[in-house]
């Protein structure tokens, strides 16, 4: 559970990020926006990367919650995967969501805190693994390794996000989702 000072710093960081359209995050701006001292800040966040990690943690948990509410586990696995893919690929075609995503694809964050970032990405991979497990239980997918399948799909989508945020994006969102969906179903052995 986060204390009120930590929450205030995180709220200020979101404000600073929104003002910069998620292009930069400067600690001194966060300090000013949160009216906190550098010592208070660094007691909670040893570095800027730790602050970004906390923001990423908030964002991942929010998206995980939204997707869990959007995915109906009673529908066929192909529909569950379609919902997951449409949400994640849809990020690229929504200017506001794409800007937020840019921050979390920051290579410095990956270089400084790779294990912690991998844990957060693992939340999405576990959500996919649950979908794959349901498909295996219902016979829609052949038996296999759901964790590996989810990890590979996760890497595919994160690669699309990285390319899309950098401007290399097909013009038609639905066409991209349909192609990725077909590729994923084929890769998982869906008939």
Q: Domains in the chain and their CATH numbers? A: 1-45 (1.10.10), 48-187 (1.10.357.10)
Is a pLDDT exceeding 70 seen at residue 38? yes
- DSSP annotation of 58 reads H
Separation of alpha carbons 151 and 145, rounded Å? 10
Q: Are 123 and 61 in contact (CB under 8 A)?
A: yes
Q: Residue 146's pLDDT band (boundaries 50, 70, 90)?
A: very high
Separation of alpha carbons 104 and 110, rounded Å? 9
**Angle, in degrees to the nearest 10, between helices 77-90 and 146-165:** 30
**Mean pLDDT computed over 98-126:** 84
How much is the pTM? 0.85
88: nearest Cα among 9, 180, 15, 190: 180
The fraction of the chain above a pLDDT of 70, given in percent, is: 98
Q: Residue 101's pLDDT band (boundaries 50, 70, 90)?
A: confident
């Amino acid at each position: 559970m986060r204390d009120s000072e930590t929450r205030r710093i995180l709220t200020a960081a979101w404000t600073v990020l929104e003002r910069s359209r998620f292009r930069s995050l400067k600690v001194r701006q966060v300090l000013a926006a949160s009216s906190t001292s550098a010592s208070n800040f660094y007691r909670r966040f040893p570095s800027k990367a730790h602050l970004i990690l906390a923001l990423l943690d908030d964002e991942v948990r929010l998206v995980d919650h939204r997707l869990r509410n959007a995915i109906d586990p009673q529908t066929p696995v192909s529909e569950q995967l379609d919902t997951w893919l449409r949400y994640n690929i849809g990020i690229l075609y929504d200017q506001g969501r794409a800007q937020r995503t840019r921050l979390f694809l920051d290579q410095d964050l990956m270089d400084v805190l790779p294990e912690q970032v991998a844990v957060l990405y693992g939340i999405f991979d576990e959500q996919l693994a649950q979908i794959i497990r349901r498909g295996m239980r219902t016979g829609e997918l052949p038996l296999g390794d759901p964790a590996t399948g989810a990890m590979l799909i996760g890497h595919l989508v994160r690669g699309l996000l990285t390319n899309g945020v950098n401007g290399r994006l097909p013009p038609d969102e639905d066409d991209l989702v349909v192609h990725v969906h077909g590729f994923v179903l084929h890769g998982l052995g869906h008939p």
